[in-house]
Amino acid sequence: MTQRKQGNVGAPYFLRKGATALMGGLLLAAAGAMAQDDTGLASAPTTSSAASARTLYRVTNLGQGDIGVTMNAKGQVAFAYSDPFGQTPLQAWFYDGSNLHEIDGLGGGIVRPTGLNDGGQVTGIATTAAGLVHSFVWSRRHGATDVGTLPGMDTTWEPAINNRGEVTGYSTGDPSPPWPRAFRWSAQSGMQDLGVLLSGDDSTSYGRAINDAGLIAGDAWAGGHAYHAFVWTRANGMIDIDTLGNDYSTPVAVGARGQVAGNVLNPPNNYGSVFWWSRTTGMRDLGAGNGQGTWMTGMSPGGRIVGTITYPDFSQHAMTWTPAPGMLDLGTLGGRSSGSTAANDRDQVVGGAATAADSYHAFIWTPKEGMVDLNQRLYRAPAGLELFGALAISDNGSIVASSNAGLLLLRPVQACRCTHAAGPIVSNDLVELGAPVDTTIGFAADDTAANYEVAWSWGDGTVDRARRAGARNGSGSAQASHTYSAPGIYTVTADVTDQAGNRVKVARRIVVYAPAGGVLAGTGTVVLPAAASRRSPSSTGKAAFSFMAPTAAGAQLKAASAKGRFMFSLPGLSFASDDVQVAAAQGSRVRLAGTGTVNGARGYQFAATAGASGPGTAGQFGVTIWHTDPKTRARVIDYDSLAGTNGSAGSPIVEGKIVAR
């Protein structure tokens, strides 16, 4: 994380190699005006009324991707996306404030950003022509530069960048050994090994964050099963800053003044807590109030921490922390859970929160207004648009959010030079083979006289040519229909173009299943439990899933040449498998299992439990994703929405359906 990078939650753990600790994920959050509740923490009411001078936001469609989302202080954005099953390269994009630019990779099939500085330099990982993962630095002027590897190693992972273009991350073997070692890279000096805390061939270290002064923070093996946070400078080298004797501590961010903050795990229950370190204070455990754990997801350059508090009933609330007044419970939007993801240095915090209507909405929080549902602050938004979570916020007030129309940039109206916005696509998502799929898309713009053309791509090789779509007072809609000839999971895309040639694309997945029998199929969204894992807080909020798998009697499905497939996604994590089996069935509940990819990287396994929908019910869904640590051979949980459910079907489906035939 750079000194000025906004909204990035640090190097994602989903693709970490060689680590032994369990992973924390993105935790969405919510907030409000200060009060006192029975937790003893300063907290907020569940909602707040808008001020008379409230800020409204204009919508810009960025695309379908929400992997590797990172934002700088200017409101520029880098992100990546792929199709649901990794059949096309994981493409990455840079939005410069007006236009999208594709980030070219290193000759392979994956490009994923991990950082963005204020100069528009993007860092990330990409596969080379040889299939190895290397880190890169990209700019519009110079393209992608391979940072290389440390001597004797062949991969580099999870880089972070500062405003001077200096990078930290870790280099390792594929497969290990050699084991991971933290590095520093610059265009002037090349690669530098930062060393380890303990000597030995099997010692490891990971660079996680860097500020503009060049201070690097990371974690390294400290003996036994312990990993300790460290800081590194050219003058003093690597120093262990974990003076609290934690089992595992890892930094998330470095502030402009050298403050380091991150997460710790401690036995016997390994509930997380947040630490704060500075040269004057040393390491401080910020505690959990009356909760049983806290988890940090990001920090502004000035030192405002955001994350979640987990309570004994496993509910989670968004939190923010500053040295004064300390940790604040930010409440919810009327539901049970919330989480904050990012903050800027204007005292604005963003995230997502459950509503009283059992939905999950993006929010912005300030000390003055408290928590505000961003869906209530949109200006001339397309019909049906719903914001699920805010992922990043810049110093100029721009916000990146996930939605039912893909990844969006929200900009204050006065600062926006926006064209039209589109989406979502409205359609039946689960369709019997032979039945028509009817779709509708809406769009809106400030130009009340604009004309539009809409072209449809159905994901099976069929494309409908662009047709003129009517608009009135800047808003309009278009309809289309298509019938598929084979079962499968398809991505439908609408391409909306205005009279100036500005294009916006919106996509939606459709599951088409054979009605003759022998198939389990489903698609929809689910609001995940607030405390998905006791061991390590996991992502909460709205997730999407689609799957189709043959049952034991699935001869008809196999005869139709349809493959069993499964996908699950939420901001920061995209899992896909085309190796799906029905592992067990009990009544209307079925357990799926197989192997797949996380954010385009292979080597992961999953188990999903689906409860088929009955009359008047939507069904239930839950999933666990894991990989095997190459060093310890231990099973490492990457995501678990079934923790504490005894393998039950998990959470009720909010939208969508599961059928068994």
Map residue 559 onto helix, strand or coil: helix
Which one is predicted more confidently, 247 or 180? 180
With beta carbons less than 8 A apart as the criterion, state whether 311 and 291 touch.
yes
Residues ≥6 apart with Cβ < 8 Å to 598: 14, 15, 573, 574, 575, 604, 625, 627, 638
Look at 523 and 240; give whichever has higher pLDDT: 240
Confidence of residue 366 (pLDDT cuts 50, 70, 90): very high
Nearest-10 Cα torsion for 401, 404, 407, 412 = -50
Task: In whole angstroms, give the CA distance from residue 303 to residue 78.
Answer: 23
Residue 573: per-residue pLDDT: 78
5 assigned to some structural domain: no
pLDDT at 604: 92
Per-residue pLDDT tens digits for 552-589:
554 443 444 445 889 888 777 788 888 888 777 666 67
pLDDT given for residue 351 in this prediction: 94
Asked if residue 484 and residue 398 are part of one domain, the reply reads: no
Same domain, 522 and 441: no
Q: Which amino acid is at 133?
A: V
Same domain, 405 and 443: no
- Claim to verify: residue 231 and residue 339 sit in the same structural domain: yes
- At 462, which CATH number? 2.60.40.10
**Per-residue pLDDT for 417 more than 90?**
no
- pLDDT one-digit tens code per residue, 90-131: 789 999 998 999 999 899 878 999 999 999 999 999 999 998
Residues 507 and 519 in one domain: no
Average the pLDDT over 253-260 and give the result.
Answer: 96
Whether residue 190 sits in one domain with residue 235: yes
Q: Are 264 and 305 in contact (CB under 8 A)?
A: no
Q: What is the DSSP letter of 490?
A: E
pLDDT of res. 101:
94
- Whether residue 89 lies inside any domain: the answer is yes
- Which of 487, 512, 537 lies at the terminal end of a domain, its last residue? 512
Q: Say which CATH number the domain at 286 has.
A: 2.130.10.150
Look at 651 and 397; give whichever has higher pLDDT. Answer: 397
Q: Helix H segments across 360-448?
A: none
Averaged pLDDT for residues 229-242 = 97
- What number is the average pLDDT over the span 381-399? 94
Asked if the bond preceding 113 is cis, omega within 30° of 0, the reply is: no
The pLDDT, as a whole number, for residue 287 is: 82
Mean pLDDT computed over every residue of the chain: 82
Please, which pLDDT band fits residue 463 given cuts at 50, 70 and 90? very high
Please give the pLDDT value at position 50: 38
Please indicate whether residue 338 or residue 661 has the higher confidence score (pLDDT).
338
Indicate the residue among 392, 421, 450 that finishes a domain.
421
Q: Is the pLDDT of residue 250 over 70?
A: yes
Question: Is a pLDDT exceeding 70 seen at residue 549?
Answer: yes
Same domain, residue pair 311 and 450:
no
Give pLDDT, residue 423.
Answer: 86
Q: What are the helix (H) ranges across 24-132?
A: none
Instruction: Answer left, alpha or beta for residue 376, where phi above 0 means left and psi between -120 and 50 means alpha.
Output: alpha
Q: What angle do CA 484, 488, 491 make, to 5 degrees?
A: 80
- Beta-bridged to residue 657, according to DSSP, are 523
- d(Cα 562, Cα 575) in Å, to the nearest integer? 20
pTM of the complete model: 0.85
Residue with tokens 């019910």: 617
- The pLDDT confidence band at residue 225, using thresholds 50, 70 and 90, is confident
The answer for 645, left when phi > 0, alpha when psi is -120 to 50, beta otherwise, is alpha
Q: Confidence class of residue 533 from pLDDT cuts 50, 70 and 90?
A: very low
At residue 157, does pLDDT exceed 70?
yes
Beta strands in 23-146 (DSSP E): 35-36, 42-43, 57-63, 67-71, 77-81, 91-95, 100-103, 107-116, 122-128, 133-139, 143-146
Measured over the CA atoms of residue 647, residue 652, residue 655 and residue 658, the dihedral's sign is positive
- E strands, 173-271, are 181-186, 190-193, 205-210, 216-221, 227-233, 237-240, 248-254, 260-265
Question: pLDDT band at 643, cuts 50/70/90?
Answer: low
Residue 316: the pLDDT is 84
Retrieve residue 40's tokens.
């003893």
Compute the average pLDDT of residues 216-241: 95
- Total structural domains within the chain: 3
What pLDDT shows up at residue 17?
29
Domain boundary among the residues 466, 489, 512 is at 512
Q: Classify residue 1: in a domain, yes or no.
A: no
pLDDT for 20 equals 25
Q: Of the ranges 87-101, 142-156, 213-227, 313-327, which one carries the lowest mean pLDDT score?
A: 87-101
Burial class (CB in 10 A: 0-12, 13-18, 19+), 440: middle
Identify the pLDDT of residue 43: 40
pLDDT of residue 425: 94
Confidence of residue 47 (pLDDT cuts 50, 70, 90): very low
**pLDDT of res. 542:** 80
Tell me, yes or no, whether 184 and 320 share the same domain. yes
- Examine residue 300 and state whether it is found in any structural domain, yes or no: yes
Which residues make beta-bridge pairs with 586? 589
What is the SS3 assignment for 436?
coil
Structure tokens at 365: 């929080």
For residue 347, the enclosing domain spans: 13-421
Residues 43 and 136 in one domain: yes
More confident residue, 431 or 271: 431
**Domain for residue 37, yes or no?**
yes
pLDDT of residue 21: 26
- Residue 599 lies inside a defined structural domain of this protein: yes
Indicate the Cα dihedral angle 585, 586, 590, 592, nearest 10°: -40
643's tokens: 């923790």
| pLDDT at res. 610 | 81
Please say if the pLDDT value at position 35 is more than 50. no
Can you say whether residue 488 is alpha, beta or left, with left for phi > 0 and alpha for psi between -120 and 50 degrees? left
Residue bearing the bigger pLDDT, 110 or 327:
327
Domain co-membership, 235 together with 374: yes
Closest CA to 100 of 65, 135, 134, 144: 65
DSSP 8-state code for residue 243: -
User: pLDDT-derived band of residue 32, with 50, 70 and 90 as boundaries?
Assistant: very low
In a domain? residue 593: yes
Residues 279-289, mean pLDDT to the nearest whole number: 88
Which residues, 6 or more positions from 420, have their beta carbon under 8 angstroms from its beta carbon? 443, 444, 445, 447, 450, 452, 474, 496, 498, 502, 504
Same domain? 164 vs 134: yes
Q: Residue 91 corresponds to which tokens in the numbers above?
A: 């493409």
Give the pLDDT score at 219: 96
Strand pairing category for 237-240 and 573-586 = unpaired
Question: Which residues share a beta bridge with 40?
Answer: none
Based on the domain organization, do 471 and 407 belong to the same domain?
no
Q: Is residue 427 part of a domain?
A: no
Return the closest-CA partner of residue 455 out of 466, 445, 447.
Answer: 466
